[in-house]
Amino acid sequence: MQAKVLTGPQYLQEGFNIIRQPGMRRFVIAPILINLLVFAGLIYYSITRVHGWIDSMISWLPDWLSWLQFILWILVVALMVLIFLFTFTMLCSIIAAPFYGLLAEKVEVYVRGEDHFPPFSWGEFSAMIPRTIGREMRKLGYFLPRALGLLVLSFIPGVNIVAAPLWLLFNIWSMAIQYIDYPADNNKVSWPEMLNWLQTKRMTSLSFGGITYLLLMVPILNLIVMPAAVAGGTVLWIRERQTN
């Protein structure tokens, strides 16, 4: 019988359930430790720089519009948070890519009940490193020009008011791509094919990316959300592909 197709938030919830299984926990520890180190480093860097960034971004405001300073300060802080989350996700994904690829493999075996991947060995894991990091570079080539375009908009007076919601939409779509791509890559689905397929599942993908992004904004919890999103994205990939 065909497995039930879920909504985006339900896929993420299933991802949380899967990584808590005894056989899965050892594949989650390394990514969580990497996430913790990157998160701590970015928090420290942001705290030392944030006030200077905010002052420079609102310095263009003339005196007669000083009453807007508080509103702009809130918008700029929101923008900084969005940029922080994007940077955090990208750095963690690049550094932990081989571990996420391995986790996606094990989740797929768990969900399908059959194993068509090579038996685990350190040699196999080492071979995954250039492939998974290369795929992350391909994602970066997709994300970075769009992120830079939004960053430029963020520094244009007046226009930067709309930068925060655009960052939000971009981050939600990026989360869907980021975590659903791991099982696609493991199954040797090309980047263009994966992207085209994802666009045919746009609403499910966006709801999955949206709830993932929302939970990534919660400190400490976000360290666990990323491996759960890998697991949930793998379940989404398997179930939604069955409906094609």
Residue 184, pLDDT score: 93
Q: pLDDT tens digits for 170-218?
A: 889 999 999 999 999 999 999 999 999 999 998 999 999 999 999 988 8
CA 102 to chain centre: 17
Q: pLDDT tens digits for 68-102?
A: 666 667 777 777 777 777 788 788 888 888 889 99
pLDDT surpassing 50 at residue 1: no
**From residue 129, how far is each of 37, 196, 234 by CA, in Å?**
20, 25, 19
Query: What distance in Å separates the CA atoms of residue 176 and residue 209, rounded to the nearest whole number?
Result: 4
Residue 2, pLDDT score: 47
Binning pLDDT at 50, 70 and 90, where does residue 228 land? very high
pLDDT surpassing 70 at residue 115: no
Token pair of 45, please? 């860097």
Q: What does the mean pLDDT of the chain come to?
A: 82
Residue 5, pLDDT score: 56
Query: What distance in Å separates the CA atoms of residue 199 and residue 177, rounded to the nearest whole number?
Result: 10
3-state secondary structure the chain: CCCCCCCHHHHHHHHHHHHCCCCCHHHCHHHHHHHHHHHHHHHHHHHHHHHHHHHHHHCCCCHHHHHHHHHHHHHHHHHHHHHHHHHHHHHHHHHCHHHHHHHHHHHHHHHHCCCCCCCCCHHHHHHHHHHHHHHHHHHHHHHHHHHHHHHHHHCCCCHHHCHHHHHHHHHHHHHHHHHHHHHHHHCCCCHHHHHHHHHHCHHHHHHHHHHHHHHHCCCCHHHHHHHHHHHHHHHHHHHHHHCC
Is this structure's pTM higher than 0.85? Answer: no
Average pLDDT on 151-155 reads: 78
Residue 3, pLDDT score: 52
β strands within 52-129, DSSP E = none
Percent of the chain surpassing pLDDT 70: 82
Residue 104, pLDDT score: 93
pLDDT surpassing 60 at residue 14: yes
